[in-house]
Structure 1
């Protein structure tokens, strides 16, 4: 489908809340799984795909009703933004995970890379085909970025993490090329880990991202954030990115940033003047639904730093961990806000 031509087209970062009848949200709320977490699904295996399809249609319709211009499938079939793709690759062992300990002392099981990374077949192709069949709006699909996947696994095969990231990049690229053929209007890579280890990111993140983007001709997005509001409290979020200006060197046309909750100083966007900016204007740490007036002010603030033809209003991050009525209300308010500001500038 053609991308919207009006100014300030709205979109989402990717995920939308999964229904309580589909997943155990209490279990989900405790982590962002790196390995498979099949126990979160409430539906028996024999009926799970059908249930996920039904819930995906509900998510797509919610996005459409909220007035979102560029929709996703809500990532309803995923346990996390990254684990479904990462653990589907040959060479990755998620059955016998390694344990990592975060800076906050949290233990997380992560997949071990025990052999050559190889994409043996499509992972998200059916998701994209299903989305394309079920909406006439512009459609975006997301993939975990190669740098982030390399940081979320224990490397027991490649000589170093750079070689691992490049192997993931080749796999992501093969998948993205198929998703493009299946009708993706926009392809997004989620790369939140570039700010976790900016030193490693400076060495090879841009190189890996550009390898993953090779041959993609539809618009591409890089999403960077400070973590889900439900998992990372606002007080723990930095107010600036440690790795952002460097993303100007990637071949992605758009950079998606979290700006509402951390109250980001948008002066940093001067470094990204060659890119379109997907600007986070919905605070996912705020359990109330912001008014269209509040969100319109955030969009106007963004326009002081980014030309209107380069600004795409969006939530800060994925909405997976929110109550669904709140997520819907926030998206509707964002669409209304974009319409208000659009009138002012057209």
Structure 2
């Protein structure tokens, strides 16, 4: 079973302590986020994560994208939304270069906030009618597709985050069309992360043009019922990222085992559970203390490895 993360990691700030970094700071070229990226990567490497994230340290899941697209002033839409240049590519390349020196077999994932979630988090002041305007959503999707195309040759997979879909605020047919636009031309595995209770909308999510559906199961055990009918690979969120208490290895093992037992009765997964389940946290970990985030990931990987031995 592949072990990964949903995306964000606590931002740990550092100061330039090496001579090259001090020189960069003197000339105004020091990147204060590089330390945070290295910390996120080191922690993931140390616990045994297979597909790593750069930690999404430069801002929240909305800010990272809208601050780098044409048509925005802050989170206000003032013109037609368009792609300008790759947003996450530099951090992905930096991450690959960094981890290649430590474990060249590891890879990184692309993480892109979906069109509906972005639309729900901004203020429309011009060009579009409101946050649910289909033209806004599809323009965002076209911009995000260009972002995905710019990174796909550097990542093991691309994950699109659409947490807003579990709220029922957005039309799922529109969201599905947007995902078709976003994933056009993508030749690496595509995941869609939707946290929250998805049990009532899962019938529709199962139709989306993605390879992996990633959901939370630790903080929403009701989602376990979707495993009876899922036809995609499963991103199995198994540690509760809402709590600052650390999930024990036994707790995580019990949850993963429960999920696997359900999947064994799903004909889609006959004989392929080990290759079809991706273990990760319920959601991003940005708001957790870094020691808690590390311990949660460590216990998650330990639990997954022990379960995997039983499946072989």
TM-score relative to the length of structure 2: 0.86
Partner of 1:134: 98
Q: 1:220 aligns with which of 190, 203, 207?
A: 190
Partner of 1:72: 53
- Return 5+ residue gaps in structure 1 as ranges: 1-7, 23-43, 95-110, 227-238
Q: Kindly indicate whether the alpha-carbon contact (under 8 Å) linking 1:147 and 1:209 is maintained by their aligned counterparts in 2.
A: no
Partner of 1:51: 32
CA-based RMSD of the aligned residues comes to 2.0
Partner of 1:301: 258
Q: 1:116 to 1:289 in 2, by over 3 A?
A: same
1:291 to partner: Cα distance = 2.1
Q: 1:203 to 1:345 in 2, by over 3 A?
A: closer
1:21 to partner: Cα distance = 5.3
- Return 5+ residue gaps in structure 2 as ranges: 16-24, 264-268
Partner of 1:172: 144
Answer 1 or 2: which has greater helix percent: 2
1:210 to partner: Cα distance = 1.2
Taking the aligned partners of 2:155 and 2:242, their CA distance within structure 1 comes to: 30
Q: 1:154 to 1:203 in 2, by over 3 A?
A: farther
Q: 2:238 aligns with which of 281, 284, 294?
A: 281
The answer to whether structure 1 residue 19 and structure 2 residue 15 are counterparts is no
1:202 to partner: Cα distance = 2.2
Partner of 1:290: 247
Q: Kindly indicate whether the alpha-carbon contact (under 8 Å) linking 1:147 and 1:201 is maintained by their aligned counterparts in 2.
A: no
Taking the aligned partners of 1:58 and 1:128, their CA distance within structure 2 comes to: 14
Q: How does 1:83-232 map to 2 (within 5 A)?
A: 83-94=63-74, 111-135=75-99, 136=104, 137-155=106-124, 156-158=126-128, 161-181=133-153, 183-198=154-169, 200-226=170-196
Taking the aligned partners of 1:118 and 1:285, their CA distance within structure 2 comes to: 34
1:310 to partner: Cα distance = 1.6
Q: Tell me, what secondary structure is at the counterpart of 1:164?
A: helix
1:197 to partner: Cα distance = 3.1
TM-score relative to the length of structure 1: 0.78
Deviations 1:22-47 (A, max 9, x none): 8xxxxxxxxxxxxxxxxxxxxx9986
